[in-house]
A and B are shown apart, each in its own frame.
Chain A
Amino acid sequence: MRRLVLIAMALVGGGIARPAISLADCGPLLACGDINGDVLADLADYADLFGCLGQAPEFAPACSCADLDGSGLIDLRDFALFAPLFEKTSDEVPPNCTGAVGTLADLTAYRPQHGSGYAPFPRTAVSEAAEDSPTLGPGIRINGPGDSDPSGEDDLIEVELVIDQPGAELALRRSQDSLEIWTTRDKQPGTQIAFAADRTDALPIGPADMSITLWVEWTSLFHGLAELQVEPLGSSLVKDVLVFHSFEGIVLALGGEDQVPSIPVDSNHGTFLVGVVLYGQGYDVHMFDEDIVAADGSGVAYDAAADAIQNRLVEEVAIFGYSHGGGSTYDLADRLDLFRASLGIFTITYTSYVDSVSNNSDLDVGMELRRPPSTAYHLNHYQHGSFFQDLGLDGGPVTNSNPPPSGLDVETTAWGASSTHFEVDDFIQVRDMLETTLIPQVTR
């Protein structure tokens, strides 16, 4: 989405959108005929053009982008150049418009992979509205040299480029050399697309192809934002842009006993519902069956966090879980805290329990009331019952938790009164609280 252009727009009388930008600004940003910056030359642009008829950009700067031929006056010659572009796009920019029809090019990025695919998440596209957001846009893992990929390379981000003219000649431009582009997900030899001065040559789009799949890698060992834009081979007109943020945080979600992440997510697995939401909002989320966390905290979840800290420069860790997943949240945080000396600098910025039960084994039914070691913020939800109500499975108050002083007994609320252990994780209020408290605490 070309937000930079849209930000520069202003409404000026008569309901007609007028560009509040100078001629110089108009050049590299807006294609011929796209006077309002929405990519297509359409009725709204026609209205803008009509509103500028007879005016000179010298005295009416808002009409600069309507002077398609650069004659110094918006007149019928500009309408003649606009006509062939109607409901199409151009690869040219004012004042050098010839009326030649250009290519529509749309970049779509996907959320991060896990192992050999996307499971336990569905393949999730970053929305058009979010794709150039520094927070909600595509996140990407630093692919450091020591990074462990036990299931194969999974740190590249899939990007699909769709065009409306087969075989169009397009190039990519990057804002910094942290980004590398491949045409294979596992970086097969000979499939890297080279940059020269941060711009590629023509992309390898076949003469009959209407799309190409690219894989983006973040190779530098520092964090930041990086733009990737597509433009015609012959000009620097921005057709579409993605803004990548390198992941500085990792989020680990642990379900309750016998809850296994699935596609689609089970509506009774509240922990994983939250995980899917956060994944869609630009976090590097990893969801697990809590059984993979041993009583000493070791296992796949620990390995994922340790690898992120040691090899991907991740500095913030968030962990949350329900029932036995809460107990495992404690065990995992305990191990991470214990082995800091070998891991590197990081903060457990956020933890959360939902009716947490200690998890030394599948048969452990003790209340987990210990605050996860070294966590900066702990959210705690719990309920209370009896063996004859819900097998007596309860979380409980945890000192120094949120809401203060020891968390929320949901049975003191109107929505959670008489709730049981087996439903407490599914309340929308509990899930909302998890999301709204995690987001300010954890950097994406």
Chain B
Amino acid sequence: MPDMKLLNVRKDSSIMNSCLRGVLGMSLCWSASVCAQETTAPEPAPNPAVVEALQQLASMADGQPIEETWDKLRALNASDPTGLIQGLVYAARDAGSTRQAMVSGAVIKELGIPDGAVIRAVVPLLETEDDSLKKQACNVLGGYENQSAERPPDFSAYREIIAESVRQGKPLPLDLIEYMYERSPGLALRTMMRALAERDPQRIKTLLWAEHVVAGVIWKQQYGFLKPSEIEPAAAEQLDKLAQDDAWWVRLYVAEVVGQHRVFETPNLKAQLQADDASIVRQSATWPDRSGSVQP
């Protein structure tokens, strides 16, 4: 198993990188050799031809002939599918009317672009420092997770992307990882465990059980068996234990789950996480002041 300790920080920032919290602009490496090769990725930009074609399509009146524009889009999908998809995300972000806002989804449906292709094209946009673009990318990814009130999001596509990075010795897609933790800390923890190829059954059981105990408290709060202000001591014990774990992605789980369910917060846990060796954990533990009640 590779050494998962934090070895390098490419960039640091006091601003959090997330759909909800702005831009982090930071990367972690899982091996020193990988970090040595790492460079700052250029900020993505939309393909001008895509932008032009989408603007034409969005500005047309209902029923107006659009075949010529449509042919351009089909050609772009054949020559630069990633550029087209990323252009669709930009277009959705920049929409100024209902028609403009709905063009991107309609084009994807009409061209029959597979879900996996959209996800792989959009994930790199999470690295942007442009808050509005990042928010739009998060929104688009959410649409492919098949989540509902009763059904958790599906991170299987992300697991494969992360596992691929591990297999190929590339830097981990930290922005994607943090996105997952924000969406669902427990599922993100389990996804990371598999993507990073944890093989020790005892360690797997330890992590699974801890997450299960904490998730049980959240479930009991959501369904009214515990008040939002109540927790069970066993969950607090598990969080304390995970906060001491060697792996930053385990400690990140603690920071995220406590940030989302502040009833778990204790002064010791907060101090410990905010002084964590990994800046991604420290920054995730920069929770806002408590205010209002949290609904399930």
**Chain A residues proximal to chain B, CB less than 8 Å:** 146, 148-150, 256-259, 291, 294-298, 302-303, 306-307, 323, 331, 334-335, 338-339, 341-343, 357, 360-365, 385, 387-393, 420-423
A340 and B222 alpha carbons, distance in the complex (Å): 9
Point out the residues of chain A lying under 8 angstroms from B103, CB to CB.
391
A-B contact pairs, 26 of them (CB 8 A): A148-B293, A291-B139, A294-B147, A295-B147, A296-B147, A334-B150, A338-B149, A339-B149, A339-B296, A341-B225, A357-B102, A361-B139, A362-B92, A362-B104, A363-B88, A364-B105, A364-B143, A365-B102, A385-B62, A387-B106, A387-B110, A388-B65, A390-B62, A391-B102, A420-B63, A422-B98
Cross-interface CB contact of B95 among A150, A258, A361, A385, cutoff 8 Å: A258
A297 and B149 contacting across the interface, CB-CB below 8 Å: yes
B295 and A307 contacting across the interface, CB-CB below 8 Å: yes
B222 and A259 contacting across the interface, CB-CB below 8 Å: no
A420 and B291 alpha carbons, distance in the complex (Å): 44
Q: Does B14 lie at the interface of the complex (its beta carbon under 8 Å from any beta carbon of A)? A: no
**A338 touching B150 in the complex, CB below 8 Å, given contacts A256-B98, A258-B100, A362-B92:** yes
Point out the residues of chain A lying under 8 angstroms from B295, CB to CB.
298, 302-303, 306-307
A391 and B92 contacting across the interface, CB-CB below 8 Å: no
Main secondary structure of the interface of A (DSSP, over half): loop
A339 and B222 contacting across the interface, CB-CB below 8 Å: yes
A420 and B102 alpha carbons, distance in the complex (Å): 13
CB-CB contacts below 8 Å: B40-95 with A? 62-63, 65-67, 70, 88, 92, 95
A150 and B291 contacting across the interface, CB-CB below 8 Å: yes
Point out the residues of chain B lying under 8 angstroms from A331, CB to CB.
148-149
Point out the residues of chain A lying under 8 angstroms from B144, CB to CB.
360-361
Type the 1/0 row for B270-296, where 1 means its CB is closer than 8 Å to any CB of A. Answer: 000000000000000000000111011
Known: A307-B293, A392-B110. 13 other contacts (CB 8 A): A258-B101, A303-B295, A306-B295, A338-B149, A339-B222, A342-B296, A343-B224, A360-B145, A361-B105, A361-B143, A362-B143, A385-B62, A422-B99
B98 and A360 contacting across the interface, CB-CB below 8 Å: no
Type the 1/0 row for B191-231, where 1 means its CB is closer than 8 Å to any CB of A. Answer: 00000000000000000000000000000011111000000
A364 and B143 alpha carbons, distance in the complex (Å): 7
Cross-interface CB contact of A259 among B98, B105, B139, B221, cutoff 8 Å: B98
Q: Does B166 lie at the interface of the complex (its beta carbon under 8 Å from any beta carbon of A)? A: no
A423 and B62 alpha carbons, distance in the complex (Å): 10
Q: Does B35 lie at the interface of the complex (its beta carbon under 8 Å from any beta carbon of A)? A: no
A342 and B95 contacting across the interface, CB-CB below 8 Å: no
A339 and B150 alpha carbons, distance in the complex (Å): 10
A392 and B110 alpha carbons, distance in the complex (Å): 9
B62 and A334 contacting across the interface, CB-CB below 8 Å: no
**A335 touching B149 in the complex, CB below 8 Å, given contacts A150-B292, A342-B296:** yes
Chain B residue with the shortest CB-CB distance to A365: B105
CB-CB contacts below 8 Å: B134-170 with A? 136, 139-151
A363 and B140 contacting across the interface, CB-CB below 8 Å: yes
A311 and B98 alpha carbons, distance in the complex (Å): 36
Residue among A302, A361, A388 having the largest count of chain B Cβ atoms under 10 Å: A361
**A422 touching B62 in the complex, CB below 8 Å, given contacts A150-B291, A258-B95, A364-B105:** yes
Chain A residue with the shortest CB-CB distance to B64: A388
Point out the residues of chain A lying under 8 angstroms from B39, CB to CB.
none
Point out the residues of chain B lying under 8 angstroms from A302, CB to CB.
295
Point out the residues of chain B lying under 8 angstroms from A389, CB to CB.
62-63
B149 and A362 contacting across the interface, CB-CB below 8 Å: no
User: How many Å from the CB of B194 to the closest CB on chain A?
Assistant: 23
Point out the residues of chain A lying under 8 angstroms from B292, CB to CB.
148-150
Chain B residue with the shortest CB-CB distance to A259: B98
A390 and B141 alpha carbons, distance in the complex (Å): 25
